[in-house]
Structure formats: C-alpha cells, structure tokens
C-alpha cells in the first residue's frame, strides 16, 4: 500500500469528524477530539516509510473504520434525552473504547504472535520509545497529542498500554478536555 494511501484514510476521517464537530460542538467535543486523533495518525503515516508500522496501520485503519461507522450511526440517530456536554463526551469516549476493545479482542492475529508485535509497536509509540516519533515535536497536532499523552501517563503512574481499555479511555477523555480548554 502506498504511503499516500496510508495517511489519506486518516486525513479523510479527520475532516469528517471536523464537519460533525462543527454541527455538534454545543453538545459534545468528542468529534473534535476524534478529528485531532485522526490528524495525528495522518501525520504519522504520511511521514513514516510504507513498511514501517504496516501491521499497526492495518489494525488502526480497520478499527478506525469500525468506529467511524458506529459514530456516524450515533450522529444519524442521537439519543433522545439531552446530556450535559461533559457527560455526553464521557459516554461517547467510553462507548467507543468499549467497541474498540471488542474489536481488538477478536481482531485477526489475536491467537497468533502478530498481535503482540502490533501491541509492542503501539506501546513504543505511545510511550515515546519509537523512532517514528523523531519528527513528531515539529508537527502541531502531534505536539498537542503528545502533551496530553504525557499527562495521562503521569496520571497512570506507569507506561501507557494500548491493550488496556481504561488507558485508552483516560487518553480519550484527556484529548476531549484539551479540546474544551483550547477551543471552547
């Protein structure tokens, strides 16, 4: 798969989530956080060579497509009752990560060694131990994301583990909080 194709899927998804955020920002900032996350992934896969992180890319892209479909369904049929925006953000982050956990638990490679390799790549990235992050501080979206990630790791008191749903929930809520502070 060409590098251009790899990053464009995440760039398209970031644009979609920005559009949704523009319509729903008074109810939730979850979609702005999802746009930021996908923008970071677009930058990562735009500048990392094709073969590097190939399995991680595949898993993130498939998981992202699943989450996108669920998020679009939510937008199409939002809940009847009105939630306080911060409560709605929490519901959406927790629901998305529950769905992602289900996907991860059943993803191809779960019973073979490939999931371990993919998880190691994610965890090296998320704990700033991967060469692919060398240029990240130069990229605005990545800098912002990494600041939130550092704060989450400090709050956890240990390394971030992508396979742990509660770690991803904390990161998601941290990104939503960052969006709320910077883009009220």
Helix axes 54-76, 114-126, angle to 10 degrees: 80
Per-residue confidence band for 106, with pLDDT thresholds at 50, 70 and 90: confident
pLDDT at 141 over 90: no
pLDDT at 172 over 50: yes
pLDDT at position 30 is 96
Backbone torsions φ then ψ of 168, nearest 5 degrees: -65, -35
The pLDDT tens digits of the residues spanning 24-51 come to: 999 899 999 999 999 998 888 887 766 6
pLDDT at position 139 is 67
pLDDT at position 161 is 92
pLDDT at position 157 is 94
88 CB neighbour count, 10 Å cutoff: 18
pLDDT at position 111 is 45
86: CB partners within 8 A, 6+ apart: 180
Query: Are 132 and 123 in contact, with CB atoms under 8 Å apart?
Result: no
Provide the mean pLDDT of the chain.
84
Q: Is 164 helix (H, G, I), strand (E, B) or coil?
A: coil
Residue 131 is classified by DSSP as G
Quote the CA–CA distance of 99 and 127 in Å, as a whole number: 23
The CA dihedral of 71, 183, 163, 43, to the nearest 10 degrees, is 90
Average pLDDT over residues 4-9: 79
Distance of CA 85 to the CA centre of its chain: 20
Domain boundaries, the chain: 3-182
Query: Are 163 and 125 in contact, with CB atoms under 8 Å apart?
Result: no
Quote the CA–CA distance of 60 and 20 in Å, as a whole number: 21
Backbone angle region of 108, left / alpha / beta, with phi > 0 → left and psi within -120 to 50 → alpha: beta
The pLDDT tens digits of the residues spanning 155-169 come to: 999 999 998 999 999
The pLDDT tens digits of the residues spanning 112-129 come to: 445 666 778 778 888 877
């Amino acid at each position: 798969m060409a590098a251009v194709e790899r990053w464009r899927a995440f760039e398209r998804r970031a644009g979609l989530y920005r559009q949704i955020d523009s319509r729903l920002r008074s109810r939730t900032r979850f979609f702005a956080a999802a746009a930021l996350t996908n923008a970071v992934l677009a930058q990562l896969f735009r500048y990392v060579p094709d073969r590097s992180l190939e399995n991680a890319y595949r898993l993130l892209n498939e998981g992202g497509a699943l989450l996108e479909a669920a998020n679009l369904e939510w937008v199409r049929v939002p809940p009847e009752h009105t939630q306080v925006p911060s409560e709605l953000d929490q519901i959406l982050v927790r629901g998305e990560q529950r769905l992602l956990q289900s996907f991860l638990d059943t993803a191809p490679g779960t019973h073979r060694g490939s999931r371990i390799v993919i998880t190691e790549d994610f965890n090296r990235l998320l704990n700033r131990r991967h060469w692919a992050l060398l240029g990240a501080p130069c990229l605005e979206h990545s800098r912002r994301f990494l600041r939130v990630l550092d704060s989450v790791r400090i709050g956890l008191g240990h390394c971030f583990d992508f396979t742990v749903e509660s770690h991803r929930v904390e990161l998601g809520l941290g990104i939503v909080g960052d969006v709320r502070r910077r883009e009220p």
